[in-house]
Amino acid sequence: MSDPVIPAVSIRNLKIALPPGAERAYAVDGISLDLVPGEIVCVVGESGSGKSMCAHALMGLLPDTVRTEAGSIVVEGRDLLKLDEDGWRGMRGRHIAMVFQEPMTALNPLMRIGEQITEMFEAHGLLSPSERCGKALGLIREVGLPDPERIIRAYPHQLSGGQRQRAMIAMALALEPTVLVADEPTTALDVTTQAQILKLVRDLQRRRNMAVMFITHDFGVVADIADRVVVLRHGLVVERGTVIEVLKNPQHEYTKALLAAVPSIQPPARAPLDGRAKAVEVIGLDKTYVTAGGWFRPDRKVKAADAVSFDIFQGETLGLVGESGSGKSSVARLVVRLIEADRGTVRVGDVNLTSLTGQKLREQRHRIQMIFQDPYASFNPRRKVGQIISDGPIARGLDPKLALQRARDLLALVGLHPGAIDRYPHEFSGGQRQRIGMARALALDPDVIVADEAVSALDVSVQAQVLALLEDLKTRLGLSMLFITHDLRVAAQICDRIAVMQRGVIVELKPTAELFANPEHAYTRELLSAVPGQSAPQAA
Amino acid sequence: MRNLFKRLLKNPGGLIGVVILIIAVIIAVAGPWLFPNSPWRMVQRPFVPPFTLAAVPLGTDALGRDVFAGLIYGARVSLLVGLVSTLVALIVGVPLGAMAGYFGGRIDDALMRFTEFFQTIPSFALAIVLVAILQPSIYSIVGAIAIVSWPPVARLVRGEVLSLRTREYVQAAIVTGQSHSWIIWREILPNALSPVIVLASLMVATAILLESSLSFLGLGDPNLISWGYMVGAGRTVIRQAWWITVFPGLAILVAVLGLNLIGEGLNDVLNPRLRKDSR
Task: Write the DSSP string, A171-223.
Answer: HHHTT--SEEEEESTTTTS-HHHHHHHHHHHHHHHHHHT-EEEEEES-HHHHH
Whether residue A537 is preceded by a cis peptide bond, meaning omega within 30 degrees of 0, is yes
Name which residue leads in pLDDT, A532 or B73: B73
pLDDT of residue B151: 94
Please state which of the four CATH numbers 1.10.3720.10, 3.40.50.1820, 3.50.50.60, 1.10.10.10 is assigned to the domain occupying B2-278: 1.10.3720.10
Q: Cα dihedral sign for A383, A388, A390, A391?
A: positive
- State which residue of chain A sits closest to B191, comparing Cα positions: A382
pLDDT at B159: 93
Name the band, by pLDDT with cuts 50, 70 and 90, for residue B54: confident
DSSP 8-state code for residue A325: T
Paired sense of beta strands A368-371 and A236-242, if any: unpaired
Q: Which residue of B has its CA nearest to A377?
A: B168
By C-alpha distance, which of B81, B80, B82, B72 is closest to B27?
B72
For residue A535, the model assigns a pLDDT of: 60
- What's the CA gap between A458 and A481, in Å, rounded? 20
What span, in angstroms and rounded, lies between the C-alpha atoms of A396 and B176? 9
A375 touches chain B (CB under 8 A): no
**Pairing verdict, β A67-75 and A9-17:** antiparallel
Q: Quick one: closest CA in A to B173, which residue?
A: A392
A395 touches chain B (CB under 8 A): yes
Query: pLDDT at residue B109 above 50?
Result: yes
> What does the pLDDT read at residue A430?
84
Q: What string of DSSP letters covers A466-482?
A: HHHHHHHHHHHHT-EEE
Nearest to B169 among A378, A395, A443 (CB): A378
Q: From the first residue on, what is the mean pLDDT of each consecutive set of 10 residues in chain A (540 residues)?
A: 70 86 81 89 86 86 83 86 84 88 85 89 85 89 86 86 88 89 85 87 90 89 90 89 89 88 83 80 89 74 88 91 85 91 90 87 91 87 90 90 92 89 87 91 92 86 88 90 90 91 91 90 90 58
pLDDT of residue B91: 95
Residues of chain A numbered 314-333 and touching chain B (CB < 8 Å): 333
Check residue A274 and give its pLDDT.
72
CB atoms inside a 10 Å sphere around CB A292: 8
Question: A127-148, pLDDT tens digit by residue?
Answer: 888 888 888 998 998 888 888 8
Distance between CA atoms of residues A201 and A212, nearest Å:
9
Interface contact A444-B176, CB threshold 8 A: yes
Q: Which residues contact A215 (CB under 8 A, 6 or more apart)?
A: A42, A43, A51, A52, A54, A55, A181, A182, A183, A184
Tell me which amino acid residue A11 is.
I
- How far CA A509 is from CA of A42, A105, A308, A335, A450, in Å, comes to 36, 36, 11, 17, 18
Q: Is the overall model pTM greater than 0.90, yes or no?
A: no
Distance, in Å, from the CA atom of A488 to the CA atom of A526, rounded to the nearest integer, reads 12
Does B178 contact A391 at a Cβ distance shorter than 8 Å?
yes
Out of A365, A374, A377, closest to residue B175 by CB: A365
Whether residues B168 and A392 touch (CB distance < 8 A) is answered with: no
Test B178 with A372 for CB contact under 8 angstroms.
no
The pLDDT > 70 percentage for chain B reads: 96
Best of A360, A374, A391, A434 to substitute, by most chain B Cβ atoms within 10 angstroms, is A391
Q: Which residues, at least 6 apart from B243, have a Cβ–Cβ distance to it below 8 Å?
A: B49, B50, B58, B59, B67
Question: Taking a C-beta distance cutoff of 8 angstroms, is the pair B200, B90 a contact?
Answer: yes
The residue ranges of every structural domain in chain B are 2-278
Residues from chain B contacting residue A336 (CB–CB below 8 Å): 175
Cβ of residue A366 closer than 8 Å to a chain B Cβ: yes
pLDDT reported for residue B222: 86
Count Cβ atoms below 10 Å from residue A338 Cβ, excluding itself: 17
CB B255 within 8 A of CB B24: yes
Interface TM-score (ipTM) > 0.95: no
Partner A contacted by B182 (CB < 8 A): yes
Residue A119's CB is within 10 A of a number of other CB atoms, namely: 17
Would you state the pLDDT for residue A323?
Answer: 84
pLDDT of residue A402: 93
Q: Do A372 and B191 touch (CB under 8 A)?
A: no
Question: SS3 for A369?
Answer: strand
Residue-level pLDDT at B272: 58
Are residues B176 and A440, on separate chains, in Cβ contact within 8 Å? Answer: yes
Q: What count of other Cβ atoms lies within 10 Å of the Cβ of residue B5?
A: 12
A107 CB neighbour count, 10 Å cutoff? 21
> A372, B168: Cβ pair inside 8 Å?
yes
pLDDT-based confidence at residue B274 (cuts at 50, 70, 90): low
pLDDT score, position B2? 64
Chain A within 8 Å of B135 (Cβ-Cβ)? no
Task: State whether residue A390 sits within 8 Å of chain B by CB.
Answer: no
CB-nearest partner of B187 from A365, A380, A437: A380
Helix (H, G, I), strand (E, B) or coil at A414: coil
pLDDT at B279 over 50: no
Q: Rounded to a whole number, what is the distance in Å from the CA of A348 to chain B's nearest CA?
A: 14
The pLDDT tens digits for B141-197 are: 999 999 999 999 999 999 999 999 888 899 999 998 899 999 999 899 988 888 898
